[in-house]
């Protein structure tokens, strides 16, 4: 046994020496916290499970999301068959069941405080619940036009933030009631939106898309976000970056990326591991300290599936200009031509729905059914549809460009396509086009099973461990073999590193695992699968219970 193994054994959570040293008042040696964390997470074993009794209650279907209350005293499961299941995490017993929580699949659960939580569904609604009275929902929020996939709560602004596959992000003031419903506002829209997350301090918003793009909004101010990002099209800006051709209607929003910007500064993250041409980023989680973003993506044409960790911390402020194309700026006559082009109205077929600065921004209003119906028939509603069509055409052009790239290149012996493509540089003068910084820290390839289903991965409460669904089980992933925290690891010039597997539990479920969650209070993990089974895991030094 080496010195490292002896040290880990002595400082293990199950070691009597650690307890004796603590009682004697000895100072912990460097690395003792890592050793104890490693012993706890590596000792995670399944200890209990729950399955619905279909003879007594309606089937639950797949468990799409799991969420603990802030104090860890409750566990809520969002299920495929429109139901909510509430458990006592310590006894593993179901305490309540809501069979018709929504009229379609329940996708997500988010606690606002110890007693109130929100759910969202494929029925396009968001519901508010009180755990003290689950017989009836407090209120239904109407505003989204398609499936709602994400719920966040801004503790700073006391606003509920929701996003859906209609591409819209809404904020809801749950403390301001009207005759119809709550006051809400659409603060951003992009046709390729998949997930939306807030950092724990609500100072950053992170979005992921179906176009392989992670968008970070630094120094978030929800009250001015709609105004600041009015007319901004991420797909169009990314197309300009990829083609290295100046698109005036996209370049006019370059100021949103300026490092000196005080509020709502935009940053694109698009670097992924070699062999991972990320396309659909389906799952997204934020580190408990707000240090990084954890995502899971499918590569181009579903070739492979990957888990990645990207740094989202703002870089040190410096007076230097942001990274741009280093070539000379275009001649004055070209700049005059670009300015002239911006003054002209775009062509009818290309940008009939391209937002102009004169277009009115959607006003806050009640989320009642009448208001929703009016918005669908109003000119603003038609303009929104046209915007989606316009952005969709941009996405199609972008996908065609990627397809041309793949068809014009030859696969390597490893079966992966090269990520870098030589672009014709015959243009006499290059415009200034901002390029994205490398933010990738860690990555690992996953099993590519269950296409079409979102696999919800998660961070542990201390951020040391990632639980990733893996087929009919799960894997526990760490940044290194010692389960160290991110600030204690020095990134060298070798670039991103592969994550380390420190534990796994395979074959416990009979179907694909699609959800996972760590308890915020206890060293406890739960996973849910497509057949409705929920499994609890805790550190256990004895023999396996399964």
Q: What's the rounded Cα separation, in Å, for the pair 39 and 15?
A: 10
DSSP structural state of residue 264: S
Helix (H) or strand (E) holding 508: none
Give percent helix, percent strand, percent coil of the chain, each to the nearest 5: 20, 30, 45
Single out the residue of 221, 187, 189, 190 nearest to residue 204, CA to CA: 221
Question: What does the pLDDT profile of the chain (546 residues) look like in tens digits?
Answer: 566 666 666 666 666 666 667 677 777 777 778 888 888 898 899 999 999 876 677 889 999 999 999 999 999 999 999 999 999 999 999 999 999 999 999 999 999 999 999 999 999 999 999 999 999 999 999 999 999 999 999 999 999 999 999 999 999 998 877 656 678 899 999 989 999 999 999 999 999 999 999 999 999 999 999 999 999 999 999 999 999 889 999 999 999 999 999 999 999 999 999 999 999 999 999 999 999 999 999 998 888 999 999 999 987 644 334 444 433 433 433 333 333 333 333 433 343 334 433 344 444 444 443 333 333 333 444 455 555 556 656 665 666 666 666 565 545 444 444 444 444 444 445 678 899 999 999 999 999 998 889 999 999 999 999 999 999 999 999 999 989 999 888 665 578 999 999 999 998 999 999 999 999 999 999 999 999 999 999 997 655 555
Single out the residue of 94, 105, 150 nearest to residue 530, CA to CA: 105
Burial of 162 (0-12, 13-18, 19+ CB in 10 A): buried
pLDDT in the model for residue 392: 53
> How far, CA to CA in Å, does 55 sit from each of 149, 262, 264, 509?
31, 58, 53, 20
pLDDT in the model for residue 356: 39
Please name the residue ranges forming H helices in 193-289: 222-228, 234-243, 248-251
3-class DSSP state for residue 382? helix
pLDDT in the model for residue 3: 63
pTM (2 decimals)? 0.79
Is the CB of residue 307 less than 8 Å from the CB of residue 296?
yes
Q: What's the rounded Cα separation, in Å, for the pair 461 and 459?
A: 6
Q: What's the rounded Cα separation, in Å, for the pair 248 and 163?
A: 29
Q: Locate the DSSP E strands across 43-198.
A: 44-50, 63-68, 75-79, 84-88, 93-98, 106-111, 116-121, 125-130, 139-142, 148-154, 159-164, 168-177, 182-189, 193-198
Among positive and negative, which fits the CA dihedral 119, 120, 123, 128? positive
Domain ranges of the chain: 1-51+449-546, 192-315+329-357+378-446
């Amino acid at each position: 046994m080496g010195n490292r193994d002896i040290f880990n054994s002595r400082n293990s959570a199950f070691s009597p020496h650690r307890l004796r040293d603590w009682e004697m008042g000895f100072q912990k040696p460097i690395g003792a916290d890592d050793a104890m964390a490693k012993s706890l997470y590596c000792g995670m074993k399944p200890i209990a499970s729950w399955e619905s009794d279909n003879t007594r209650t309606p089937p639950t279907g797949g468990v799409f999301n799991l969420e603990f209350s802030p104090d860890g005293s409750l566990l809520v499961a969002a299920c495929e068959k429109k139901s909510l299941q509430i458990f006592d995490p310590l006894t593993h017993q179901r305490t309540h069941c809501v069979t018709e929580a929504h009229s379609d699949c329940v996708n997500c659960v988010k606690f606002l405080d110890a007693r109130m939580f929100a759910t969202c569904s494929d029925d396009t609604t968001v519901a508010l619940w009180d755990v003290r009275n689950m017989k009836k929902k407090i209120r239904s929020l109407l505003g989204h036009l398609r499936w709602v996939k994400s719920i966040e709560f801004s503790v700073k602004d006391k606003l509920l933030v929701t996003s859906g596959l209609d591409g819209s992000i809404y904020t809801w003031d749950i403390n301001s009631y009207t005759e119809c419903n709550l006051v809400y506002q659409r603060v951003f829209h992009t046709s390729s939106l998949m997930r939306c997350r807030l950092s724990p301090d609500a100072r950053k918003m992170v979005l992921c898309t179906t176009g392989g793009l992670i968008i970070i909004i630094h120094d978030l101010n929800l009250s001015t976000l709609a105004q600041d990002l009015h007319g901004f099209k991420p797909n169009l800006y990314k197309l300009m970056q990829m083609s290295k051709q100046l698109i005036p209607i996209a370049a006019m929003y370059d100021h949103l990326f300026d490092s000196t910007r005080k509020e709502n500064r935009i940053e694109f993250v698009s670097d992924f591991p070699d062999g991972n041409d990320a396309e659909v980023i389906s799952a997204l989680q934020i580190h408990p300290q707000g240090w990084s973003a954890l995502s899971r993506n499918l590569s181009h044409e579903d070739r492979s599936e990957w888990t990645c960790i990207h740094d989202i911390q703002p870089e040190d402020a410096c007076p230097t200009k942001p990274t741009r194309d280093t070539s000379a700026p275009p001649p004055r006559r070209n700049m005059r031509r670009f300015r002239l082009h911006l003054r002209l109205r775009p062509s009818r077929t290309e940008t009939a729905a391209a937002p102009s600065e004169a277009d009115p921004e959607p006003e806050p209003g009640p989320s009642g059914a009448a208001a929703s119906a009016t918005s669908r028939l109003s000119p603003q509603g038609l303009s929104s549809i046209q915007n989606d069509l316009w952005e969709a055409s941009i996405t199609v052009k972008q996908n065609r460009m990627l397809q041309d790239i793949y068809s014009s290149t030859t696969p390597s012996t490893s079966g992966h396509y090269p990520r870098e493509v030589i672009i014709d540089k015959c243009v006499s003068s290059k415009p200034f086009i901002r390029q994205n910084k490398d933010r990738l820290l860690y990555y690992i390839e996953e099993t590519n099973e269950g296409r079409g289903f979102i696999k919800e991965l998660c961070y542990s409460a201390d951020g040391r461990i990632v639980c990733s669904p893996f087929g009919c089980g799960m894997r526990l992933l760490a940044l290194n073999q010692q389960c160290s925290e991110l600030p204690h690891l020095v990134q060298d010039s070798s670039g991103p590193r592969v994550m380390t597997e420190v534990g796994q539990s395979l074959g416990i479920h009979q179907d694909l695992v699609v959800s996972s969650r760590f308890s915020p209070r206890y060293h406890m993990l739960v996973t849910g699968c497509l057949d409705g089974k929920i499994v609890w895991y805790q550190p256990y030094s004895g023999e396996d219970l399964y």
